[in-house]
Amino acid sequence: MGAESVDLLVIGGGMAGLSAAARVAAEGGSVMLVEKAERTGGSARFAGFVWTAPTLEELRRVNPDGDPELAEALIDGFADGVEWIRSLGVECRPPVPVLGFGRGHQVDTNHYLDTCERLIRDRGQEVLTATTTRALLTENGLVKGAECVLPDGTARRIEATWTLLATGGFQGDPALRAEHIHPQAADIGLRANPRSEGDGLTLGRTAGAAFGKKDAGFYGHLMPAGVPLADTSRFVDLALYYSEHALLFDTTGERFVDETVGDHLTTMALLDRPGARGLLVADARVHREWISASYVAGIPGVDKFQLCHRAGARCAVAESLDDFADMPEEWGYPGAVIRDRVREFNATASGDGTPVPGRLLDNRPLDEPPFYVVEAAPAITFTFGGLLIDTEARVLAAADPDGHRRIPGLLAAGADAGGLYRRAYAGGLAPALVFGLAAAHTALGGAPSAAGS
């Protein structure tokens, strides 16, 4: 078991980890990246838009409970992050609107991730795949690298001035989901790489790191209930983004959320309802304008209802609202109640009262037959709770409730880092990029002091 030392050891080779490692290598530093999967890239390989809110005010508006300093660092660092991607010869297309309030660039993330990995190797630095981490190396509270286990089972002790946890969150672990998100989260679908199982969280907390925020929630989307997500092309194809223009009813026949403010927010709300499932109701207009239309500029539209049907989802086309009363009993929904609630909603849309819950962004009636009904369930992409960091990606100590003390030598970025979002979302690639580059900057700045700075 030989010892070696690098400026930065990166644990996790996705968006945050590869960005950090490539930047350190590009600046002439020494770096080692260990990746648990056979191949680097993580969930970032499925993602296509590097985006966030255009201003701090907008980010604070959609995410009022997030850490304001991290929010500011994200907004301030976004343009430099995009510039860094471009500096590697990877195209960032002209900006487009995302999720209504956001703005960002379509990027070939696979090109970016592979370019980062090549750069690291070309600078003579190592990338170890299929490698796990047994423990962090610590000495008097200082983190000094990690003990890793190579694919052949041998241990390798890697000493480092700084160690970055970038394992992508804990969405791959049902027990951690149940503990930190919601008891029903143990059983929800995973629309992400399966290897982000909370390893960074465990390693960091063992070293004394702070975890937050409580009840931060997660980013995910409604997906057709009961449809397996083993085929990764389903992550995007079957996501029911159009819920923002539909009505969602739980198994008691109740509407419980303003569906229009965001499918990702509706997804969190559904997790709290009986059985974490609901019936998504749309009409012919919504089918025409949203179900089969493009969700974001640059991505061609597909008829999601057809895809759900073909995938074996519980779904139906009703020629009229009256047909709802004949909803199969085994579905477990009060069809006649839902029929009446759609009618009531349509009456409010024509000026007769206000809908409850309200509809902030799309209050048009669903009155054009036929009606398209899909049973939906929440699926998780990544977790918002994580190791608390400062704007330099340094991990805060749990023992210091005011957050002034760091764990010396320890960094976190991407979905391993918490605090930025609380039950709100403005991009996953952008924070991984910005705080990954911040981690590189910290590592290039020299050794940590006893207080972690």
Ligand X SMILES: Cc1cc2nc3c(=O)[nH]c(=O)nc-3n(C[C@H](O)[C@H](O)[C@H](O)COP(=O)(O)OP(=O)(O)OC[C@H]3O[C@@H](n4cnc5c(N)ncnc54)[C@H](O)[C@@H]3O)c2cc1C
Cβ closer to ligand X: 338 or 412? 412
DSSP string, 11-30: E--SHHHHHHHHHHHHTT--
Please report how close the Cβ of residue 115 comes to ligand X at its closest, in angstroms.
15
Binding map of ligand X across residues 227-266, x = CB under 6 A, - = no contact: --------xx------------------------------
How many binding residues for ligand X (CB under 6 A)?
A: 43
Cβ closer to ligand X: 208 or 414? 414
CA atoms within 13 A on the CB side of 292: 9
Pair of tokens at residue 383: 């977790």
Kindly state whether residue 145 participates in binding ligand X, applying the rule CB under 6 A.
no
Cβ closer to ligand X: 335 or 428? 428
| DSSP run (H or E) holding 304 | helix 304-310
Which residue of 193, 260, 383, 442 would you call a contact of ligand X, by CB under 6 A? 193
In sequence order, the β-bridge partners of residue 379 are 189, 221
Q: What distance in Å separates the CA atoms of residue 285 and residue 303, rounded to the nearest whole number?
A: 13
Please report how close the Cβ of residue 199 comes to ligand X at its closest, in angstroms.
3
Please report how close the Cβ of residue 114 comes to ligand X at its closest, in angstroms.
13
Which region among 7-15, 285-293, 316-324, 387-395 touches ligand X (by CB under 6 A)?
7-15
Please report how close the Cβ of residue 30 comes to ligand X at its closest, in angstroms.
19
Q: Which residue is nearest to ligand X (CB)?
A: 14
Cβ closer to ligand X: 158 or 342? 158
Which residue of 9, 15, 229, 393 would you call a contact of ligand X, by CB under 6 A? 15
| Per-residue DSSP letter, 287 | I
Residues of span 38-97 touching ligand X by CB under 6 A? 40-44, 46-49, 51
Please report how close the Cβ of residue 360 comes to ligand X at its closest, in angstroms.
23
Detail the DSSP E strand segments found in 250-330. 278-282, 315-318
Binding map of ligand X across residues 195-234, x = CB under 6 A, - = no contact: xx--x-----------------------------------
Strand 247-249 relative to strand 278-282, pairing: antiparallel
Detail the DSSP E strand segments found in 80-141. 96-98, 102-106, 126-128, 132-139
Q: What distance in Å separates the CA atoms of residue 110 and residue 88, rounded to the nearest whole number?
A: 13
Which region among 5-13, 242-250, 298-306, 372-380 touches ligand X (by CB under 6 A)?
5-13
Which residue of 160, 192, 201, 439 would you call a contact of ligand X, by CB under 6 A? 192
Residues of span 379-398 touching ligand X by CB under 6 A? 381-382
Kindly state whether residue 133 participates in binding ligand X, applying the rule CB under 6 A.
yes
Which residue of 4, 37, 93, 186 would you call a contact of ligand X, by CB under 6 A? 37
Please report how close the Cβ of residue 382 comes to ligand X at its closest, in angstroms.
5
* φ/ψ bin of 383: left (φ > 0), alpha (ψ from -120 to 50), beta (otherwise): beta
| Per-residue DSSP letter, 43 | G
CB 297 within 8 A of CB 281: no
Closest by Cα among 10, 11, 13, 16 to 427: 16
Cβ closer to ligand X: 198 or 408? 198
Which region among 160-168, 272-280, 383-391, 437-445 touches ligand X (by CB under 6 A)?
160-168
Helix (H, G, I), strand (E, B) or coil at 177: helix
- How far, in Å, are 44, 49, 168 from residue 19 at the CA level? 11, 16, 13
Please report how close the Cβ of residue 323 comes to ligand X at its closest, in angstroms.
34
CA 419 from chain centre, in angstroms, equals 14
- How far, in Å, are 253, 265, 268 from residue 305 at the CA level? 21, 21, 22
Closest by Cα among 9, 217, 26, 199 to 118: 26
Which region among 262-270, 314-322, 367-375, 424-432 touches ligand X (by CB under 6 A)?
424-432
CB 185 within 8 A of CB 272: no
Kindly state whether residue 101 participates in binding ligand X, applying the rule CB under 6 A.
no
Binding map of ligand X across residues 326-345, x = CB under 6 A, - = no contact: --------------------
Q: What distance in Å separates the CA atoms of residue 424 and residue 421, rounded to the nearest whole number?
A: 6
Helix (H, G, I), strand (E, B) or coil at 80: helix
Q: Which residues bind ligand X (CB under 6 A)?
A: 11-17, 34-37, 40-44, 46-49, 51, 132-133, 166-168, 191-193, 195-196, 199, 235-236, 381-382, 414-415, 427-430, 432
